[in-house]
Structure formats: structure tokens, C-alpha cells
Amino acid sequence: FDMVVIAHNGKCANRLVKPTGAERTLRQLRSLKLSAIWALMVEFESTGTGQPPVLPSGLQACFVSNSDVISFVGNQSAKYGPSKSGMECFTLLSTEGFGRQHKVPQEAVPAAKAAEVRDLMLGALFAIPGVSKREVGPAWRA
């Protein structure tokens, strides 16, 4: 492989890699800076229901600059072709600063905090030029 992506917290990643003998990877892991971010998944009615696309110009994903709240938006449903359910699922990732500001134990996220984060992240999404403001479907999770 040319590249390996390890999406795990640093302590566990170190324990997983240490017995492999991959010294360069282990050295790299020791220098990682851990960051807490929020991931929000929401669904919107799909364009097949007459709605305009959420992201402009047929984009399926984008990195967001000049936002203190979100850093990435991706249409997860686009991976599978047109939606048969009439809904599209999007993932929004927060910035590191937003994650730090709204950090709570991930094992027990208070419902009020999850709703607050959802509202702030959706507000930031809809503030991006060219993004269509939409009603959030019944399924969401922060």
C-alpha cells in the first residue's frame, strides 16, 4: 500500500500498530495531535422530489473554508446513485475549534447539546453561498 488511514483515537491506534513492527508508522502516531470534532448526519428530500440540490453545481462533497463551525459537507447518498426513498443523507463535519467548544462525553451526549450542535451546524451549512436551505427530514444524529 502507498497509504494507510487510521481513524481511531491515538492511544488505541498506538496499541494496534505497536505489535506490527511498523516503526515509521508508530513514530508518526506518537506525533499526532488529537482533535474532537462533531459529525452530523441529516437527511433532506432529494432533488427527485422537485427540490433544488442542497449543494451547488452538482457538487457531491466539499471542504468548507471561512467557517468557524463546519469544515466538510458530503452527500452520502450520491455514492449509491439516485435515491429511491426520496431522501438524501448528508454528513457534516465540524471544525476543530467548534468541536473543542462543544465537547461533551461521546458516550452520553445530552439531547439538548445534540440539538444545539445540529442547529448551529445546519445554520452554518445554509449560510454557505449557493447552498439551498431545506427542511431537515425526520432522521438526524449528532
Question: Which CATH number among 3.90.660.10, 3.40.50.300, 3.40.640.10, 1.10.3720.10 corresponds to the domain 39-141?
Answer: 3.90.660.10
Chain-centre distance of CA 105, in angstroms?
A: 18
Chain-centre distance of CA 74, in angstroms?
A: 7
- Residue 44 in contact with residue 136, Cβ under 8 Å? yes
- Residue 75 in contact with residue 60, Cβ under 8 Å? yes
Q: Distance between CA 98 and CA 93 in Å, rounded?
A: 10
pLDDT in tens, 71-126: 999 988 877 776 677 778 889 999 999 999 999 988 889 999 999 999 999 999 99
pLDDT above 70 (res 4): no
> Would you call 130 helix, strand, or coil by DSSP?
coil
Reported confidence tier of residue 2, pLDDT bands at 50, 70, 90: confident
Q: Where are the domains of the chain?
A: 1-34, 39-141
Q: Distance between CA 110 and CA 10 in Å, rounded?
A: 25
- Residue 45 in contact with residue 87, Cβ under 8 Å? yes
pLDDT in tens, 39-76: 999 888 776 667 777 777 677 889 999 999 999 999 88
